Amino acid sequence: MKPALEVIDLSKSFGGLAVTRKVKLRVERGERHLLIGPNGAGKTTFFNLVTGDLRADQGQIAIDGHDVTHEATSARAQRGIARTYQIVTLFGNDDLLHNVKLALLGKSAQRWRHSGGFANDQAMNERALQVLESVGLAAKARLPVQQTSYGEKRRLEIAMALAQSPSLLLLDEPLAGLSSQERETINELLAGIAPDITILMIEHDMKAALAFADRITLLHYGEVIMTGSRQQVIDDPRTREIYLGH
């Protein structure tokens, strides 16, 4: 069986600064894989390369065995990639339901329809409400996003990614900036994601992230230092030196 994600010798530079250096990474289907590293390690850049938001200078990216290295972001989304962002990216003036419906529209044939709208599309409304219910936000479906808490915005962003029925979900620091109670809520949400959805996550909350991950990759200055099980990575002296600081 082909892996959910396979990256071979992926490199990216901005001018003379090499941000990603011949990265090799294999994530099996259904795996919960954690990407760690200090600030500036190239983690978000790596996500941007996988999704197509940035073009690699060299290397290869395969999703479920399909080479997507030269495909557009939209084409990769159709293959099953969805993501969240380090900085929450939502339509703040619209309500939660509309945000989720826009996410649903991205993989629907209705996006090609040149006339009419989807505001009164009952099937789409019901599906969007189901997605919001799955993240505990159905009761706030008609609330403008700008009136929600930061933790609720994080849950909405995950909902929008899940609305696209992804096979590969990239989560960029989903616990960042949350209170302990909000982190607990997000952790429960992540634990409830269907096991057939592969998850690659960047996270600095090591306690929560280690409990979540099957395997971990440590990045430093754009290079993969090691990949292994939770215990292997924790026990490796390079992890303590580079990332844990002791």
245 band by pLDDT with thresholds 50, 70 and 90:
low
Considering the domain architecture, whether residues 131 and 33 belong to the same structural domain is answered as no
Please give the residue range of the domain that contains residue 52.
1-80+166-246
**pLDDT given at position 115:** 45
The pair of three-digit structure tokens given for residue 58, joined into one six-digit string: 């060299």
Considering the domain architecture, whether residues 29 and 72 belong to the same structural domain is answered as yes
How much of the chain is in helix, strand and coil states, percent to nearest 5? 40, 25, 35
Considering the domain architecture, whether residues 13 and 33 belong to the same structural domain is answered as yes
User: Which residues on neighbouring strands pair with residue 229, listed in sequence order?
Assistant: 215
114 band by pLDDT with thresholds 50, 70 and 90:
very low
What's the DSSP call for residue 138? G
Tokens 């919960």 correspond to what residue? 32
Which residue, of 112, 138, 165, is where some domain finishes?
165
Mean pLDDT of 60-72: 96
Residue 183 and residue 205 in contact, taking contact as beta carbons nearer than 8 Å: yes
Does residue 112 carry a pLDDT above 50? no
Strands (E), 28-68: 32-36, 58-63, 66-67
Does residue 154 carry a pLDDT above 80? yes
121 band by pLDDT with thresholds 50, 70 and 90:
confident
Torsion of CA 76, 190, 101, 166, to 10 degrees: 20
Residue 148 and residue 91 in contact, taking contact as beta carbons nearer than 8 Å: no
